[in-house]
Chains A and B, each alone.
Chain A
Amino acid sequence: MLKLPLRWIAAAVLLANGFFPALWILLTSFKRDAELAQTPITWWPQHPTLGNYVHAFSDQPLLLFLGNSFAVALLSTLLTLFAATGAAYALTRLRLRRRGLILTVLVAIAMFPPATLLVPLFEIMRGLGLINTYGALVLPYAVQSLPVCTLVLASFFQQVPKDIENAAMLDGCTRLQALYRIVLPLSAPGVFTAGILAFVNAWDEFLLALALNAAPGSRTLPVGILLYQGEFTFPWPVISAALVVAIVPLAILIILFQERVISGLTTGGIKG
């Protein structure tokens, strides 16, 4: 066991690394413009103000961005969970030729650089009339999360004893019913973990959101906040306030579900 001072240093390093940037943004969000233009800079706000938060919501439709991000993340999570459930079930429970090939394809997709697909995706979405709608982002985000979600779900399905499923089918369930009534509920933690991974992936995405949904009404948070920039100066206090607003829901989400995220990453097929 470490000696006490060393322990404290370890804790300080961990916490500073994790929290300092967010804390700095939080402090900045309470500073006034004039204070920010001072050198040497101040660390603690001298005259704390909530004005930046008012501006963050009034200069740009921040609530709308928040709603867009939330809707896109949620819809893509649901879509990816639906597709991944089927794929994971087929991979783990059904007779399947070329199981290896299917997995390879899945993993290869996880590695596909999104930048390379920008133009065709743009054309597809334009063709489908989806540009500047949730659909333009929901579909690609669902695909981006599909491999990892499939692997997470598959590893949980694997742990459900086959006997339970067989017993259910003897009772007259079809395979599909067995999946949705027995296997899936028993794998609830896995579904949950996969869902969080997919949600965070979608919440974070920037490149496609910038290219496909740049119209004022359909921007997600990362794009919306990056476009707060003004001509003369970078309005940092207001941007900081907007960032705080954007970070808080995610922080709450991971505080609530941290146990699941960690266990999900441990089992999510990522582990060797």
Chain B
Amino acid sequence: MSLRAFFNQRQNSQGNSASDVSESSLAFWQLLPAALLLALIVVYPVAKVIHDSLYSISLFSESGPVFVGVANYVDALRDPDVWRAVRFTIALCVVTVPGALLVGLGLALLANREWKWRWPVRLALLLPWALPLAFSGMIFAWFFNTEYGVVNDLLRRAGIAPVSFLLIPQWGFLAICVATIWKTSSFVALILLAGLQTIPRSLYEAAAMEGASRWQSFRHVTLPLLMPAMMVALIFRTISALQSFDIPYAMTQGGPARYTETLSILINTTAIEYMDVGYGSALAVLLFLLSMAVSSVYLRKLYKGAL
């Protein structure tokens, strides 16, 4: 059952009006727990964030909340720190989303072969997926340590001077990208593996009969049939890359000089650590809009049945 099918499903069950009533009241009760949870955890908070973003609210100010209209937004758009965080977040998306797709595709193609023992191969895909992001960040921070990291050890062995990866903005960006791609490519690989397994073997056999090379059959059979799965992976990855928090936080805490601060880190620092709630809420709305802009692309595709 695909998402598209859900959307296109026709109401085909016929019934008398009595069962209609009981069905819709049952539907109401069945949907109620989910609706209550959503109301409490998402709907009310979203309303509250939008409301707070119009006020100046800080636990550390001598006065109470003051209505300031869109002043927080004006401030945010003028704040170079916000723009830097937006740029960094987008850069992280631009590098890690295609990166994870490529690496994930490679892993999926490797894992899709006939293996005598399937479980080590599968575990190798599942372990990075199940490892908490924060742990991945910590482990890679250790890999990229100047003195004792395994990366610099390899560099030294190759006769290259060690690099303080996490203290130099460009290298810090690279290190965060590597950690993110490693962690997220396994999720992509799992989705693509699922896609690969639905491609009928007969298509490859037919391609081989017509004398297609390995590359040609990949190009003309595998890739087109894998496209829907690639789209799903792409969208899920883009959305979560926009929300990046754990890996950069565990690796650099946004440093050096706040160069590796993502929007989520900036929001957390502003709203939770500094308790500058009004301004933090305005930043949250900005991230919310950015996310929704990307999500709406996904949802539109869903409606059009493009997936």
Q: Do A and B bind each other?
A: yes
Contacts of A122 in B (CB 8 A): 272
Given contacts A40-B156, A175-B26, A262-B122, contact A272 B135 (CB under 8 A): no
B111 at interface, CB cutoff 8 A: yes
Given contacts A96-B27, A154-B6, contact A115 B284 (CB under 8 A): yes
Contacts of B176 in A (CB 8 A): none
Contacts of A79 in B (CB 8 A): 37
Of B63-71, B94-102, B285-293, the one touching chain A: B285-293
Evaluate contact between A115 and B287: CB separation under 8 angstroms. Answer: yes
B250 to A: closest C-beta gap in Å: 7
Contacts of B256 in A (CB 8 A): none
Point out the residue from A146, A159, A258 that lies within 8 Å of B38, measured CB to CB: A146
A63 at interface, CB cutoff 8 A: no
Given contacts A121-B41, A271-B194, contact A15 B124 (CB under 8 A): yes
- Bound together, the chains give a CA A246 to CA B134 distance in angstroms of 12
Q: Is the interface of A mostly helix, strand, loop or mixed?
A: helix
Evaluate contact between A41 and B148: CB separation under 8 angstroms. Answer: yes
Evaluate contact between B138 and A113: CB separation under 8 angstroms. Answer: no
Interface 0/1 of B278-302, CB less than 8 Å to A: 0011001101100110110011001
- Bound together, the chains give a CA A242 to CA B149 distance in angstroms of 19
Of B74-82, B125-133, B167-175, B215-223, the one touching chain A: B125-133
A230 to B: closest C-beta gap in Å: 14
Point out the residue from B37, B45, B193 that lies within 8 Å of A121, measured CB to CB: B45
Tally A-B pairs: CB < 8 A.
Answer: 306
Given contacts A17-B124, A203-B132, contact A94 B232 (CB under 8 A): no
B191 at interface, CB cutoff 8 A: yes
Q: Which of B1-54 contact A (CB under 8 A)?
A: 1-4, 6-7, 9, 11, 13, 15, 20, 22-24, 26-27, 29-34, 37-38, 40-42, 44-46, 48-49, 52
B136 at interface, CB cutoff 8 A: yes
A108 at interface, CB cutoff 8 A: yes
Evaluate contact between A18 and B119: CB separation under 8 angstroms. Answer: no
B238 to A: closest C-beta gap in Å: 10
Evaluate contact between B40 and A250: CB separation under 8 angstroms. Answer: no
Contacts of A28 in B (CB 8 A): 142
A contacts with B, residue count (CB < 8 A): 103
Contacts of B121 in A (CB 8 A): 11, 14-15
B272 to A: closest C-beta gap in Å: 5
Evaluate contact between B242 and A113: CB separation under 8 angstroms. Answer: yes
B307 at interface, CB cutoff 8 A: yes
Which among A13, A87, A107 has the highest number of chain B CB atoms within 10 Å? A87
Which among A104, A117, A176, A272 has the highest number of chain B CB atoms within 10 Å? A272
A114 at interface, CB cutoff 8 A: yes
- Bound together, the chains give a CA A271 to CA B233 distance in angstroms of 9
Point out the residue from B23, B44, B186 that lies within 8 Å of A120, measured CB to CB: B44
A184 to B: closest C-beta gap in Å: 12
Contacts of B280 in A (CB 8 A): 119
B105 at interface, CB cutoff 8 A: no
B164 at interface, CB cutoff 8 A: no
Q: Which of B148-205 contact A (CB under 8 A)?
A: 148-150, 153, 156-157, 182, 186, 190-191, 193-195, 197-198
A89 at interface, CB cutoff 8 A: yes
- Bound together, the chains give a CA A21 to CA B129 distance in angstroms of 13
- Bound together, the chains give a CA A272 to CA B191 distance in angstroms of 10
B6 to A: closest C-beta gap in Å: 6
Q: Mind listing 6 A-B residue pairs with CB under 8 Å?
A: A107-B302, A113-B287, A119-B49, A120-B46, A221-B132, A269-B3
- Given known contacts A21-B182, A86-B33, what 13 new A-B pairs fall within 8 Å (CB)? A41-B149, A86-B34, A91-B6, A113-B287, A117-B46, A143-B41, A146-B37, A222-B134, A226-B134, A250-B130, A253-B130, A258-B122, A270-B232
Q: Could you list which residues of chain B lie within 8 angstroms of chain A, going by C-beta atoms?
A: 1-4, 6-7, 9, 11, 13, 15, 20, 22-24, 26-27, 29-34, 37-38, 40-42, 44-46, 48-49, 52, 107, 110-111, 113-115, 119-136, 138-140, 142-143, 147-150, 153, 156-157, 182, 186, 190-191, 193-195, 197-198, 228-229, 231-232, 236, 239, 242-243, 245-246, 249-250, 263-264, 267-268, 271-272, 277, 280-281, 284-285, 287-288, 291-292, 294-295, 298-299, 302-303, 307
Q: Could you list which residues of chain A lie within 8 angstroms of chain B, going by C-beta atoms?
A: 1-2, 7, 10-11, 13-15, 17-19, 21-22, 24-25, 28, 36-37, 39-41, 79, 82-84, 86-87, 89-91, 94-96, 99-100, 102-105, 107-124, 139-140, 142-143, 146, 150-151, 154-155, 158-159, 175-176, 200, 203-207, 211, 221-223, 225-226, 234, 236, 239, 243, 246-247, 250-251, 253-255, 258, 261-262, 265-267, 269-272
